[in-house]
Amino acid sequence: MAGTPKVELRGVKKRFGPKVVLDGVDLKIDHGQSLVVIGGSGTGKSVMIKCVLGILRPDAGEIFVDGEEVTRLRGAARDKVLKKFGMLFQGAALFDSLPVWENVAFGLIQGRGMDRRRAKDVAIEKLAKVGLGSDVAMLSPAELSGGMQKRVGLARAIAADPEIIFFDEPTTGLDPIMADVINDLIVSTVKDLGITTLSITHDLVSARKIADRIAMLYKGKIIWDGPTAEIDDSGNPYVDQFIHGRATGPIKMEVRA
């Protein structure tokens, strides 16, 4: 595809003490594309996302958003970049001190200074988009089931109409049916609107459903990258082992961290 990629990582490295987590990640996500990064637990998928968001600072390498280098931005410049992003966290990460509607409207009220009453209307509208009625709006997040929390998290991620959304393990911890509901919602509320997405998951069913392109992260590097349709004949032994879930193969599970 022509033009500047929406998000690009070049040689991003990150280590915690002696443990190298990202060892030179190169990745491009084109405008409107849905990229899914697969990889085993603890391969640094979450760390990669947090580097792009600026929650973690990479040790080396560059990150571009819309062609602009954002790797070392701080303060107001970082805030401006962050306004382009939405994120759905693994455990939904809802603020349990606030009711559901205020969670959804949080970015609008705090980040953009929207009037509370108007923000509430937007929140209820976004909740409807993820299939939740206005009765849920007044509940506290602790009163919701895991699947409902994920939906509220999704509503919060899309509330401020971001250009890019990150999904951290969107289906982990859900039953297969609820997982599929979430996948459908991701496709209908995000992908179909032309929002660029980066998801990280080890759920292949989910990956196949939401991805245009799949990349595999292993030992801190992207070892394979291609269209979703080609994942079954990637010719890469690591990818084959991962998608078929075999205990034996080139990937050795490091039982000790």
Partner 1 sequence: MNIFAAVGRMTLAFFRETGRLSMFTASAVAGLLRPPVYWRLILQQILRVGYFSLPVVGLTAFFTGGVLALQIYIGGNRYGAEAFVPQIVVLGITRELGPVIAGLMVAGRVAAAIAAELGTMRVTEQIDALTTLSTNPIKYLVIPRVVAAVVSMPILVAIADSIGVFGGYIVGTQSLGFNGYVYIKNSVDFVTHQDVTSGLIKAAVFGFILALMGCYNGFNSKGGAQGVGRATTNAVVSASILILAANYLLTNLLFSR
Which stretches of the chain bind partner 1, using CB under 8 A? 50, 53-55, 79, 82-83, 85-87, 89-91, 93-96, 106-107, 110-112, 156, 160
3-state secondary structure 81-132: HHCCEEEECCCCCCCCCCCHHHHHHHHHHHHHCCCHHHHHHHHHHHHHHCCC
Q: Closest CB to partner 1 among 161 and 232?
A: 161
Q: Closest CB to partner 1 among 96 and 233?
A: 96
How far apart CA 113 and CA 130 sit, in angstroms, is 24
Shortest gap between Cβ of 229 and partner 1 (angstroms)?
A: 32
Q: Closest CB to partner 1 among 10 and 78?
A: 78
Shortest gap between Cβ of 94 and partner 1 (angstroms)?
A: 8
Q: Closest CB to partner 1 among 156 and 202?
A: 156
Question: Given CA atoms 74, 75, 79, 80 in this order, what sign does their dihedral have?
Answer: negative
Q: Closest CB to partner 1 among 20 and 56?
A: 56
Shortest gap between Cβ of 93 and partner 1 (angstroms)?
A: 4
How far apart CA 62 and CA 71 sit, in angstroms, is 6
Shortest gap between Cβ of 76 and partner 1 (angstroms)?
A: 10
The pair of three-digit structure tokens given for residue 48, joined into one six-digit string: 């990669």
Question: Given CA atoms 137, 140, 145, 148 in this order, what sign does their dihedral have?
Answer: positive
How far apart CA 206 and CA 176 sit, in angstroms, is 10
Q: Closest CB to partner 1 among 82 and 200?
A: 82
Shortest gap between Cβ of 78 and partner 1 (angstroms)?
A: 9
Count of residues in the chain: 257
Shortest gap between Cβ of 156 and partner 1 (angstroms)?
A: 8
Question: Given CA atoms 10, 210, 248, 49 in this order, what sign does their dihedral have?
Answer: positive
